[in-house]
Amino acid sequence: MLWRLKKFCDEHELDDQEIDDQLTYWENKEYLKTLVTDVNVELNYNVWRAEEKRYNVEARRYHADNFLKYYLHAVKMGETKSADVGPPIPPIRRDAFSLKAFTQKKT
């Protein structure tokens, strides 16, 4: 039965050192299943929740440190719309400023 446990470890990319000689086959199998997040749905959910919380903390820290870069990206993606204020006002199209035209303009 040991070969089946080793096969299970190989299939799920676990170290076969996790197999405990003091436990029965079924106890070892249950223990190994807890190490594989795809098998245990509740454990998988808790892992993802913890990762989401860590990601949110890192994202807030990044946005605080790089606010201007984040804001410009949000403007570019059109994510600055607000229900309170409404959509952003489109910029007024003006001809590009030309110093040459300005200096040659007759007053």
Whether residue 80 contacts residue 88, with contact meaning beta carbons closer than 8 Å, is answered with yes
Does 39 have pLDDT greater than 60?
no
Look at 80 and 104; give whichever has higher pLDDT. 104
Q: Which two tokens stand for residue 22?
A: 């003091």
Q: How confident is the model at residue 86 (pLDDT cuts 50, 70, 90)?
A: low
Residues 6+ apart with CB under 8 A from 42: none
Instruction: Report the DSSP beta bridge partners of residue 86.
Output: 82
Tell me the pLDDT of the chain averaged across its residues.
80
Domains of the chain by residue range: 1-36, 41-79
